[in-house]
Amino acid sequence: MQGVVMHWVALALAGALGCATKAPSPVDGREAERVAMVATQIERRGIHDARVLEAMRRVPRHEFVPARVVDAAYDDRPLPIGHDQTISQPYIVALMTDLAMIGPRARVLEVGTGSGYQAAVLAQMGADVYSIEIVEPLAREAGERLARLGYAVHVRAGDGYRGWPEVAPFDAILVTAAPPRIPEPLKEQLRVGGRLVVPVGVGYQELVVVTRTATAFETKDVIPVRFVPMTGEVQKP
């Protein structure tokens, strides 16, 4: 639902709890699962950025999945979260974060909040995160969940095709649903040097990184992927 703004939820509740952008390390009895997930699913596949790995070790992924699949939270696969949406495979979350090259206090836009897990990883790294979700119930639940866990993330319910222009430009933009083509409005909201990480395609999809230079946009294909389709304005001819 376009234009329903909910970013006050995560910020107000996090502020009431006295939380900073980074959440405290959880003590939940599942630390060993996270450590194993990072070692076997992420480091072993070639991701070595210490900040990405530490964020993946700290964010309690099991808090972002429905109770019926909580025992599979650290498995090497995506999981359903309702409304025909999924939480991405841990490796893909780490890969997209790594490709985005998130610096301290970077301003980051996420299109497709879903459960809020990717936003939490970005916030754990110290980013100022703005996240848009087209499915209003998911946006509401993610905002409440992020606040409860101590992540100060701006969450908005709406169509992310045109980004969040009033707070642009962004150092990085991550899109967690696949448009048939790269959305031009998102490219235009990058800072010079900023990176857009997006799965692109219908049927066959490729994870793409777009980097804005002073004079152009440089595009690089990374790996084949499979995401749910991006819906909304992007689907119009």
pLDDT in tens, 27-50: 688 999 999 999 999 999 999 999
Q: Is 25 tagged catalytic?
A: no
Q: Which domains does the chain have, with CATH numbers?
A: 4-232 (3.40.50.150)
* pLDDT tens digits, 181-209: 999 999 999 999 999 999 999 989 999 99
Average pLDDT of the residues in 52-67: 98
CA-to-CA distance for 123 and 106, rounded, in angstroms? 10
Task: Kindly state the greatest CA–CA separation across the chain.
Answer: 50
What is the average per-residue pLDDT within 136-148? 98
**One of 25, 88, 115, 131 is an active-site residue; which one?**
88
Report, in this order, helix, strand and coil percent for the chain, each rounded to 5. 40, 25, 35
Phi first, then psi, for residue 28 (nearest 5°) are -135, 5
